[in-house]
Amino acid sequence: MSTLPRFDAAWKTWLDENIVRGCTHQSLIDAMIAADFHPNTARLILARHLAGEAFEEPATAQAADASDYVYGTPMLPPGRVLTASDCEAPKLFSCGQPVVALLADVLTHGECDRLIEIGRARVQRSSVVDPDSGNEITITERQSEGAFVDASTDALVGTIDRRLAELFRQPVENGEDLHILRYGVGGEYRPHFDYFPEEQAGSRHHMQRGGQRVATVILYLNDVARGGDTTFPAAGLAIHPRPGCALYFEYVNELGQSDPRTLHAGTPVEEGEKWIATKWIRRGRFRAEQ
């Protein structure tokens, strides 16, 4: 029977040696995750080690990762149908821990087609936030093409921004620009979190532009012949793309804690292509980078 890893003297020595060697913080976290540390545990260990603080290990190495997160009143509005001035979106399902919901009829088929048309003319290789510098970099774990768009790109984008703000009762100015994404055959996004790990220098740079991300809305724009599901491994959820539907999930509570159960992935597209549009919602007013 396998046992959970423990952060002992050997791990402390390993961290010290690799920090001196100049290894990036993310590479150290990745190595600890590969050794079966929970991602949040690995981040917490590194943050405390860099600060010169001792890591107080719980009875099991992962015991505090999920159980410490406090589920209070969700931001997701209650009820079976969410409404906006131009839309009624029934909940197809919802989950409380983590807070996840799938809504139907958020976009019309014509709106889905138009967003794909807008995206097809603009998408480029997708990037992620470098955990140390805050710069945008490309990684093998994310194989897609994307483009950020706003109301100046097309009036439809402004309409969708307002609709999502009304459906989820969030200020429209707290939403990042809509991100249109295309995944071809083999395209995927391996398990990751959408919130910014606060111990990383790169995260602090991005959080100056509106605070922490608190929720995500994924708009599905087309049917995918095979593959391309959105999965939540810790919750045992798999969502199949269906045009016009919106997947909502939130991951930061009123205490500022981040929910490890929102680890999620976009599984590889096996046939056809996958188009989505993502809206990330911040704690405060979002300011686009100049």
* Residues 13 and 48 occupy one common structural domain: yes
* Residues 180 and 275 occupy one common structural domain: yes
* Residues 52 and 162 occupy one common structural domain: no
* Residues 125 and 244 occupy one common structural domain: yes
* Residues 161 and 270 occupy one common structural domain: yes
**Under DSSP, is residue 125 helix (H, G, I), strand (E, B) or coil?**
strand
Shortest CA distance to 75 belongs to which of 269, 215, 222, 202?
A: 215
**Under DSSP, is residue 18 helix (H, G, I), strand (E, B) or coil?**
helix
By residue range, what is the domain housing residue 177? 81-282
Q: Does 73 reside within a domain?
A: no
* Residues 153 and 198 occupy one common structural domain: yes
* Residues 55 and 134 occupy one common structural domain: no
Chosen domain end from 43, 67, 91: 67
Query: What is the C-alpha separation between 126 and 122, in angstroms, rounded?
Result: 12
Least confident range of 17-21, 51-55, 116-120: 51-55
**Percent of the chain, pLDDT > 90?**
61
CATH number of the domain to which 160 belongs: 2.60.120.620
* Residues 38 and 87 occupy one common structural domain: no
Residue of higher predicted confidence among 27 and 237: 237
pLDDT for the residue numbered 59: 40
**Under DSSP, is residue 26 helix (H, G, I), strand (E, B) or coil?**
helix
Please, is 106 exposed, middle or buried when counting C-beta atoms within 10 Å of its C-beta (0-12, 13-18, 19+)?
buried
pLDDT for the residue numbered 2: 42
CB atoms within 10 A of CB 51: 8
Across 68-89, average pLDDT: 94
pLDDT for the residue numbered 53: 73
Strands (E), 124-212: 124-125, 128-129, 136-137, 145-149, 178-183, 189-192
Query: What is the C-alpha separation between 181 and 192, in angstroms, rounded?
Result: 16
Kindly report, residue by residue over 204-216, the tens digit of the pLDDT: 778 888 999 999 9
Number of domains observed in the structure of the chain = 2
Chosen domain end from 38, 67, 96: 67
Q: What is the value of pTM for the model shown? A: 0.76
Q: Does 187 reside within a domain?
A: yes
Kindly report, residue by residue over 151-205, the tens digit of the pLDDT: 999 999 999 999 999 999 999 999 999 999 999 999 999 888 999 887 677 787 7
Q: How far apart are the first and last CA of the chain?
A: 53
Shortest CA distance to 99 belongs to which of 72, 80, 79?
A: 72
